[in-house]
């Protein structure tokens, strides 16, 4: 399924009592309370619960006046940061309906349900299911559906439950008060002073007059509310390019069923990617639990893939290696698989070249290891353009695309190795005596019977504190071979052991 096909449809959710319900999900008959914050050195009501609203208290009202109206009123300090985190958690829960969920701060969400409502029996059934699900979790939500975000959010606040047919946004929002546009207080007051109390009255004035008095940004808001223009939304997290979802009438909890669902989704997603000529570089599996919890599992690949067997095997590796096992709780009612990053992958003929097959097998092995142990823990060596031995290579994730020059050979055919297989992280100081040549390393003295060098390696000119090195290859009487260097510029000369040959 590709999001964004056809005419846009957006579902707006507004939580009028979010701060209060975050603290007390099921207020019931509890005594009224308000949430207060200091504004211009005056304590005012920041938010209130349903019981306090029924008593006539209002947001922005001075706390002293509220206490005079309701003696013994309970007051709780405001915590906007906690409210924002709760809104993000609610956005994660709403991801079961569509992956395109945007924050409409401070207490709203915008869901792009284009092409997704049929999975829930239509827009009306989808909106009802979202509202009822949030109500069960203790959150009161007002909802509306329209073709633009501004129209949907205005209707959610003032005509909850309304679903506007395509192209009828102007008719639906015209009777709404100008407050529904959520403009700043100064602009809203200016509209009222001009006698423009509803959106329809404002839209009936000349555009040149509105532009001159209120500016282009306000005119753009009015146009969007009337359905004349569309502004983009910013989903959180970024929307996937391709996705498939499976909804269960009864929540599933067994690992076998979960694996089977992932395999089926992999096949559906692979078919879509094949039609589009792309392959996935990163995949995300989202598991929506019946109690509202959300768990995500992501895998990455070193090259674009769309083979069902490969995707299924990588997710099995990931599930088997989770330090925190996938806890189904009361079961998952939705499982969604998304390709969050894709690249072009044209159809190619099957190669009979054994070298190409080996490269594919190695790439698959790297992907499996990365899925099990983590991308950062599976690395490979890459050459760097420097002749300094300890800086001639760098370790990077094996799945990462790195444009690097190939390793350059420094010995001819039949010659012994000129560089050791084992290079020390830091050269170790040693003592060299001559004649006869003796090497003292780690409190052990060895007699050297063969000696070759020097090979001078100068340090980079911008590293002024480092001296040039004279390297030697040496072998002791037991056949052990060493890679030594001397810093002759120092007085007395200092010797170091930098590596060991096999």
Where in the chain are the domains?
Answer: 1-239, 242-344, 422-500
Residue for token pair 């009161």: 140
Determine the 3-state secondary structure of 354 from DSSP. Answer: helix
Q: Class of 1-239 per CATH?
A: alpha beta
Nearest 5 degrees, angle CA 344-CA 240-CA 342?
15
Q: What is the pLDDT of the chain when averaged over all its residues?
A: 87
For strand 33-39 and strand 74-77, is the pairing parallel, antiparallel, or unpaired? parallel
Phi, psi (deg, nearest 5) at residue 355? -65, -40
DSSP 8-state assignment for residue 198: B
**140-144, 155-159, 465-469, range with the lowest pLDDT:** 465-469
Tokens of residue 466, six digits: 């480092």
Statement: residue 403 has pLDDT above 70:
no
Q: Rounded to 10 degrees, what is the CA torsion of 93, 97, 98, 101?
A: -40
Question: Does domain 242-344 sit in CATH 3.30.1490.100?
Answer: yes
Determine the 3-state secondary structure of 302 from DSSP. Answer: strand
One-character DSSP codes across 261-294: HHHHHHHHHHHHHHHHTEEEEEEEEEEEETTS-E
Residue for token pair 């030697």: 472
Statement: residue 19 has pLDDT above 90:
yes
pLDDT above 70 covers a percentage of the chain that reads: 94
d(CA 65, CA 217): 37
One-character DSSP codes across 224-241: HHTTS------BSSPPPS
Q: Could you tell me if 53 and 61 are in contact, meaning their C-beta atoms sit under 8 angstroms apart? A: no
Q: Could you tell me if 334 and 247 are in contact, meaning their C-beta atoms sit under 8 angstroms apart? A: yes
Q: What is the pLDDT of residues 412-444, one digit of tens each?
A: 777 778 888 888 888 999 998 877 789 999 999
Phi, psi (deg, nearest 5) at residue 168? -110, 25
d(CA 184, CA 182): 7
d(CA 380, CA 22): 48
Query: What pLDDT is stored for residue 1 in this prediction?
Result: 44
């Amino acid at each position: 399924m590709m999001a964004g096909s056809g005419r846009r449809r957006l579902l707006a959710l507004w939580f009028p009592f979010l701060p209060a319900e975050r603290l007390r999900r099921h207020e019931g008959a509890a005594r009224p309370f308000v949430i207060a914050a200091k504004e211009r050195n005056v304590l005012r009501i920041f938010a209130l619960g349903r019981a306090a609203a029924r008593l006539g208290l209002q947001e922005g009202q001075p706390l002293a006046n509220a206490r005079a109206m309701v003696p013994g009123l309970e007051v709780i300090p405001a915590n906007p940061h906690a409210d924002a985190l709760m809104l993000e958690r609610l956005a994660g829960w709403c991801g079961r309906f569509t992956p395109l969920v945007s924050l409409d701060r401070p207490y709203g969400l915008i869901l792009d349900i284009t092409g997704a409502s049929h999975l829930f029996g239509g827009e009306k059934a989808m909106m009802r299911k979202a509202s009822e699900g949030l109500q069960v979790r203790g959150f009161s939500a007002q909802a509306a559906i329209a073709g633009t975000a501004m129209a949907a959010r205005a209707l959610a606040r003032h005509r909850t439950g309304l679903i506007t047919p395509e192209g009828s946004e102007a008719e639906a929002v015209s009777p709404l008060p100008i407050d529904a546009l959520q403009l700043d207080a100064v602009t809203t007051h200016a509209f009222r002073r001009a006698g423009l109390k509803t959106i329809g009255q404002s839209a009936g004035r000349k555009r040149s007059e509105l532009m001159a008095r209120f500016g282009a940004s306000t005119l753009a808001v009015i146009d969007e509310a009337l359905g004349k223009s569309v502004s983009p939304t910013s989903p959180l997290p970024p929307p996937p390019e391709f996705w498939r979802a499976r909804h269960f009438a009864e929540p599933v909890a067994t690992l076998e069923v979960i694996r089977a669902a992932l395999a089926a989704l992999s096949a559906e997603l692979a078919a879509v990617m094949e039609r589009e000529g792309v392959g996935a570089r990163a995949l995300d599996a989202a598991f929506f639990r019946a109690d509202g919890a959300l768990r995500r599992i992501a895998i990455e690949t070193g090259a674009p893939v769309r083979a069902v067997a490969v995707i299924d095997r990588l997710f099995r590796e990931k599930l088997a290696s989770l330090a925190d096992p996938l806890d189904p709780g009361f079961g998952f009612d939705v499982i969604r698989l998304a390709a969050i990053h894709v690249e072009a992958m044209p159809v190619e003929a099957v190669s009979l070249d054994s070298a190409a097959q080996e490269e594919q097998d190695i790439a698959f092995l790297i992907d499996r290891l990365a899925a099990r142990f983590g991308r950062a823990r599976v690395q490979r060596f890459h050459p760097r353009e420097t002749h300094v031995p300890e800086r001639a290579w760098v370790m990077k994730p094996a799945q990462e695309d790195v444009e690097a020059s190939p390793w350059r050979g420094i010995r001819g055919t039949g010659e012994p190795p000129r560089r050791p297989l084992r290079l020390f992280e830091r050269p170790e100081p040693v003592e060299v005596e001559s004649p006869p040549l003796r090497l003292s390393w780690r409190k052990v003295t060895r007699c050297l019977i063969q000696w070759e060098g020097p090979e001078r390696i100068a340090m980079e000119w911008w590293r002024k504190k480092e001296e040039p090195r004279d390297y030697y290859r040496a072998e002791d009487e037991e056949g052990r071979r060493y890679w030594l260097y001397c810093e002759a510029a120092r007085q007395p000369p200092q010797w170091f052991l930098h590596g060991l040959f096999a």
